Structure 1
Amino acid sequence: MKESIQYKIFKVFNTIILLLIVFLTLYPFINVVAQSFSSEAYINSGKVSLFPRGFNVETYKTVIKDTMFWTNYKNTVIYTVVGTAISMVLTTMFAYALSKKRLIGRRPLTLFAVFTMFFNGGLIPNYVLINSLGMANTMWAIVLPGAISIYNMLIMKSFFENMPDELEEAASIDGLNQYGILLKIILPLSKAVIATMILFYAVAYWNSWFSAFLYLDQKELFPVTIYLRNMIAGATSGMNSGATSADNLTQIAANIKSVTMVLTILPILTIYPFVQKYFVTGVMLGSVK
């Protein structure tokens, strides 16, 4: 079928607009990467845009030698893995139960869950609760309070509701109970939404810093986001490390934020391509009835 001139013009303009959007989206990150490899003079004078100026890796060397950075990095990995695992188990079970119309009290439970999206106890009651439960200065203060995202749960609930009832009926006839149906029938058919939820939770835990800032006092328990926050606030741990000399303090001060941002975001950029194919499919299947 021959394309009309109007359609060809539309494709050209559409391509240009999309490329412009991509450039505007990527520019801040490219600029951060460029600054992380640039020298202090060019950064302070505002001459760094898309490419490094005065190539310098001194700050990378200093941060990598900082043992506290790697301790906090390890904490972030642990919090993300454990938190995502707990969240997926609880969210999947809650969503699957609420997706069953025969569940007694289904509507009140759903309304109760939705209610928590708009109202909560407040910062001080939450802080008092975490302390009274003995979870302060532990991993559980990070991974348990936000273990279930109601938004994610509703997406999974809608996804499960779209599953044909005949699948469960056939499985029941074959002798499977509810747990068997969920594990052997439903979950294998839900890879798209599961991968999407894992990405949502993992990114949320990886980027989270306020819970750690609120409930953790020991530096050895901080996630890497607190390390980054302290850099931005001026508590430059990398500059204070023993490996840092007075000659390169100004260089480190100039791009310590950029270097730490790059090192922090790398794992997410590495994982995302493997789950990207499920991302749009999972969200759309769970949100369109």
Structure 2
Amino acid sequence: MLSGVKETKRDKLFLVCNYIFVSLALLIVLYPLVYMISASISDPKYVGSGEMWLWPKGITFDGYKRVFENSSIWTGYRNTIVYTVVGTAINLVVTLPAAYALSRKDFVGRNFFTAMFMFTMFFGGGLVPTYLLIKQLGMINTIWAIVIPSAASIWNIIVSRTFFQSSIPRELQEAAQIDGCTNMRLFIKIILPLSMPIIAVMALFYGVGNWNSYFSALIYLNDTAKYPLQLVLRQILVLQQMSAQGGGAIDASTAAAMNSKAEIAELVKYAVIIVATVPVIVIYPFLQRYFVQGVMIGSVKG
């Protein structure tokens, strides 16, 4: 509110309603996260009975102990870091030059290529043809099956193209060309240094996507030693649930053992969720402004 401007009753009521709405939205978003953290360190019997609904009860770290005792967790972390770094690098190498080329008005066939790119946003070959293609290329059970098929996002190319069109002066490019600068040198020496905001945004978008990705690994990888973290945690969770279900005749002792396994599986489930998400949760607050900037790219400038 501007200084010297008196707030009316309607303005005050509007602000109060805004604060109430924002507070409710914060509670809706924050509660599941707090509940998962509390459930991961609470006694499973309190979680299962509903006695633990917000803060931890009967604090125990058995879930995390069981998760981190599994050596495949650390292998999954290493694989995920490699897939994320390599995949994000390939994403940027493909996305930024394509977006810059499409932003140039003197690029012959720009509208045609843009239309072809956008066509793939609505139509695809399907899972089976894609799998057969990856198999024929010899990429099954390799890192390339994870990073190559998702090398570029058409949406991110369009966002980057919009940035180049709206933020890089056309006169700057013309001046560089008059001085004898080639297109490649222009892109590397002039355009990229001026495009750090979009590079940071794209690196974040692709990095988070690569970190959370598991479907490609589930389809194309056969060797468990190459599984990313998300797939390793999924495997642990499934095995815990199957172990908890058990089988055969049920007597009192068997029922007690099965109930204990079910409680452990529940505890491990929440620990697994936290282990998989905590790196992104820790990093996000420091990079939030880049996400906001990414949303604002291409907005009307005065």
TM-score by length of 1: 0.91
2:73–2:233 CA contact under 8 A, matched in 1: no
| Mapping of residues 87-166 of structure 1, within 5 Å | 87-162=91-166, 163-166=168-171
User: In terms of mean alpha carbon deviation, does 152-161 or 42-51 score higher?
Assistant: 42-51
The alpha-carbon deviation at position 250 of structure 1 amounts to 4.7
The alpha-carbon deviation at position 36 of structure 1 amounts to 0.5
The alpha-carbon deviation at position 201 of structure 1 amounts to 0.7
Check 1:147–1:191 CA distance in 2 against 1; reply closer, same or farther (3 A cut). same
The alpha-carbon deviation at position 80 of structure 1 amounts to 0.7
Check 1:228–1:287 CA distance in 2 against 1; reply closer, same or farther (3 A cut). farther
Check 1:89–1:36 CA distance in 2 against 1; reply closer, same or farther (3 A cut). same
Check 1:182–1:283 CA distance in 2 against 1; reply closer, same or farther (3 A cut). farther
| Mapping of residues 1-289 of structure 1, within 5 Å | 1=4, 2-162=6-166, 163-232=168-237, 234-236=238-240, 249-286=261-298
Identity of aligned residues (%): 45
Counterpart code for 1:103:
F
Counterpart code for 2:283:
I
The alpha-carbon deviation at position 182 of structure 1 amounts to 1.9
Specify the SS of the correspondent of 2:16: helix
Gaps of 5+ in 2: 245-256
Structure with higher Rg: it is 2
Gaps of 5+ in 1: 241-245
1:59–1:251 CA contact under 8 A, matched in 2: no
Q: How many residues align?
A: 282
Counterpart code for 2:12:
K
The alpha-carbon deviation at position 125 of structure 1 amounts to 0.5
Counterpart code for 2:175:
A
Inter-partner Cα distance in structure 1 for 2:275 and 2:179: 51
The match for 1:243 is none
The alpha-carbon deviation at position 153 of structure 1 amounts to 0.5
2:173–2:186 CA contact under 8 A, matched in 1: yes
The alpha-carbon deviation at position 109 of structure 1 amounts to 0.8
Inter-partner Cα distance in structure 2 for 1:286 and 1:144: 28
Specify the SS of the correspondent of 2:57: coil
Moved over 3 A (4+): 246-251, 286-289
The alpha-carbon deviation at position 23 of structure 1 amounts to 1.2
2:35–2:54 CA contact under 8 A, matched in 1: yes
Inter-partner Cα distance in structure 2 for 1:180 and 1:252: 59
The alpha-carbon deviation at position 4 of structure 1 amounts to 2.4
